[in-house]
Structure 1
C-alpha cells in the first residue's frame, strides 16, 4: 500500500499566488541532528537619548541640519536618498540587452518615538496608532504625485539596520516596482478567474481553518501564509472588508491595526527573547495621477513581515545555494511556525522580567 502524503512530514512544493512562483518545503529535514547553539543574544545597551545619534531629538545630522526636539513621530527628507525627484531621462537603449529607464522619486525617514531605547512592541497602542496615522498621512501626500509609495521598516542590525533609533523609511517612486507588479498582475488574474479579490478570499479561508493564524481581532488577521518562504514570515490582512489603500482605513480600523501590530511584535520578541529583527512593509493599490479613475478592485491592502531568524536569536536564515540559484526552500512548515508564534505570551518578556523582579 502506497504511503499517504503528510504535509508535516513529506517534502512538497507550495504555490505563492501573489508572486506566481513556488516554494520547496522540506519538513523531514527538521529531524536531522542539530548541534548549533540555542542561546539568548546579548543585547546592546541603548540609552534613551544619544547625543551622537542623528535621529535623536535636537541632534545635528551629518549634513548640518538639526533634528528638532520632537515628542511623537517625526518625518524628514532622507539626507542620503536613493531617489531624487528631478533627474534627466536616459533616453532610448543602445541595445536590447542594455535597457535603461527613467526613475524619479523621493525618500523620507520617519522616527517613531523620541526615545532611542524603545521599539514598536515596547510602545503603547496609542503611540503605535500615531505611527499608523503618520504612515497614512505620508501615503496620502506622496500618493498625489507618485505611482508607488513604499512604507518599510528594517529592524535590527542583523537585518541591515544601521541605526538603533526606532524608525522606518518611506520611498515614493515614479514607477511601479517589481514586487508590486507581481502582485498587481496575479491579483488581477485571480479576480478575473474567481470573481473575488484574492487576499479577501484568502483571509476568509484562513479565518475558518485557524491553522496558520497567529493573532486576529474584529478588523485584522495575521497569518503565516501557506506559501511562506522565511521561517516566521507573516502577512497582515483586513479580516472582512475590501480595502484598497492605507488612507481608506476608518478610525476604528486604524486603532485596531495598532493593537494587532503590538500583539504580533510582542510575540516576535518573545519567540527567542530578543528584539526580533525583520523587514516589513505595506502594499496597497498604486497611486498617482495615472491611478485616478482606474479600476484597482483586484487589490487588497496588506502588510508583509519578513524576519530572518531561524532557530534562536543568533541563528539566521540565509538565502543561499539552492534558494539563490534555483528556488526558495524552507524546512519549518508554515503551520508549525504559526503554532510556535501563537504559543508566545502577549506580555513582552522584558515587562514580565521587570514584574518578576518587583515581586521578589
Structure 2
C-alpha cells in the first residue's frame, strides 16, 4: 500500500475561493516547471524623450481634438478626446424581447497626467509628487461622485496592457450605473457584513497582517498583500488598516503613507524583472452619487493591481482557453508570489532612491 501523500499547496492543484467576487480560482503551481515556447513580449521602450511636442499628453502639445495642453508642472486633468461615456447619450428605448435588453449608459471620461515628464513613472517620482497624484484622485472622486454613482480610477501601464503612450497617466470613468465588478463587490461585502458583523476586507487585512505569509508591505496606515485568491501571477491588494470607504475620506497622514507604500510597491514590481513593470490597477471605494446618503459601512476602500508578467520580463500570463471558458487559473501560489515580492529591494534598480533627491 502506497504511503498517503500530504497536501502541499505549491505542488498539488487546488481551488481557492474569492469571497470578494464570489468565484473560484484553480491554483496549479506545478505548471511553472513546464518549458515555455509561447509568445515572448518585446521589452518596454527605453530612452523615452522627456518632452515630445508631438506627444498629446505632454505640456504644450496639441491633442487630437485640437486642444492645446497648458504648460503644466504637476498633475493635469482633461476630458478624454475619445470618451467611452458621454453625459447626454439618448435612451435606447424599451426592449422588444427579454434576450435583447439595453439600458442607458451616461457618464464622463477624463485623462489625468501624473507628471509633466514622459520619461518618468510613479516609482521614479518623489513621495511628494505621488502624494499630489493621490490628492487629485481624491478631488476627482469627490467632484464626480457628487453626481455619478461610480467613479472608476484606473491606470493601464505598459504596451503589454494596451497603453501605447509612455507618458505617466491614468483614466477616470464616471458612470450613471454600477459596473459589473462594482455590483459584485457591493453584494459580497454587504452579505459578509450582514453574516459576520464586520467589513470583509477590514477583517481580511487583519488576518493577513497576523499570518504574514502573503504580506508584501505594511506601514502605519496601509497593507499590501498578494490575496489568497489572486489570479494574476503577482497580483496585489492595497488596503487601509482602518475602516475607510472612499479615497476622499483619507486623512493627510493616510495620504502620505499611501504615497510611500505605493512607491515602495511599484519599485518592487520594477525590480522583479528589472523592467518598467506593466499592470492594470484601479481603486474600488463605496458607490457615490445617490448612494452617498446610504449606509455603506460594508465597504472597505482598496486598490487592485493586476500585472501580467509571469516568468520574466518577456513571458506573460494569458487569460485564454480554460480561463475564458471555465474559470480562472494561476501558475504559482499566492504565498510564492508574496515571498518573491517581499524579498525584493525597495530602492529602484535604475536610481537607488535618487528620485527623492530631485
**TM-score above 0.5, yes or no:** yes
Per the alignment, residue 300 of structure 2 pairs with 300
Residue 324, structure 1, aligned to residue 304, structure 2: no
Unaligned runs of 5+ in 1: 356-360
Query: Over residues 75-127 of structure 1, what are the superposed CA-to-partner deviations in whole Å (9 max), with x where a residue is unaligned?
Result: 00001100000121112111001000011000000000000000000000000
What is the CA-CA distance between 1:142 and the residue it aligns to? 0.2
Secondary structure at the counterpart of residue 283 of structure 2: strand
Residue 303 of structure 1 and its aligned partner are, at CA, apart by 0.2
Specify the SS of the correspondent of 2:306.
Answer: strand
Normalising by structure 1, report the TM-score: 0.95
Partner of 1:345: 345
Q: 1:208 aligns with which of 196, 207, 210?
A: 210
> 2:197 aligns to what?
195
Deviation at 1:161, TM superposition (A): 0.4
Q: How does 1:32-71 map to 2 (within 5 A)?
A: 32-34=34-36, 41=43, 43-71=45-73
SS in 2 for 1:351: coil
Instruction: Indicate the residue corresponding to 2:279 in structure 1.
Output: 278
> Secondary structure of the residue that 1:171 maps to in structure 2?
strand
Partner of 2:84: 82
In the TM superposition, what whole-angstrom CA distance separates every residue of 1:126-171 from its partner, at most 9, and x where no partner exists?
Answer: 0000000000000000000001000000000111002110000000
Q: Report how many residues are paired.
A: 353
CA distance in 2, matches of 1:122, 1:302: 23
Partner of 1:152: 154
Counterparts of 2:234 and 2:173, CA distance in 1:
25
Whether the 8 Å contact between 1:212 and 1:334 is mirrored in structure 2 is: yes
Shift of the alpha carbon at 1:31? 2.9
1:43·1:274 contact (CA, 8 Å) conserved in 2?
A: no
Q: Which digits, 9 at most, give the CA deviation of each residue in 1:286-335, with x for residues without a partner? A: 000x2132111110000000001111111111101111111100111000
Q: Rate the CA distance shift 1:42–1:299 in 2: closer, same or farther, 3 A.
A: closer
- What is the aligned partner in structure 2 of residue 141 from structure 1? 143
Residue 33 (structure 2) aligns with: 31
**Counterpart residue number, 1:252:** 253
User: Aligned equivalents of 2:30 and 2:68: distance in 1?
Assistant: 55
CA distance in 2, matches of 1:87, 1:354: 48
* Cα distance in 1 between the residues matched to 2:65 and 2:34: 52
Is the counterpart of residue 131 in structure 1 residue 133 in structure 2?
Answer: yes
Please report how far the alpha carbon of residue 2 of structure 1 lies from its aligned counterpart in structure 2 after TM superposition. 2.5
Distance 1:228 1:85 in 2: 35
Partner Cα distance (1:172, 1:42) in 2: 30
CA offsets per residue over residues 230-276 of structure 1, 9 Å max, x none? 0000000012x110111110010001000000000000000000000
In 1, the alpha carbon distance for the partners of 2:83 and 2:42 equals 35
Query: Which consecutive residues of structure 2, in runs of 5 or more, have no partner in the other structure?
Result: none
- Rounded to whole Å, the distance in 2 between the matches of 1:17 and 1:265 is 26
CA–CA distance in structure 2, aligned partners of residues 339 and 155 of structure 1: 24
Aligned to 2:185: 183
Among 108, 113, 137, the residue aligned to 2:110: 108
Stretches (4+) displaced over 6 A: 35-40
Distance 2:28 2:331 in 1: 5
For the residues of structure 1 that align with 2:37 and 2:202, how far apart are their CA atoms?
42
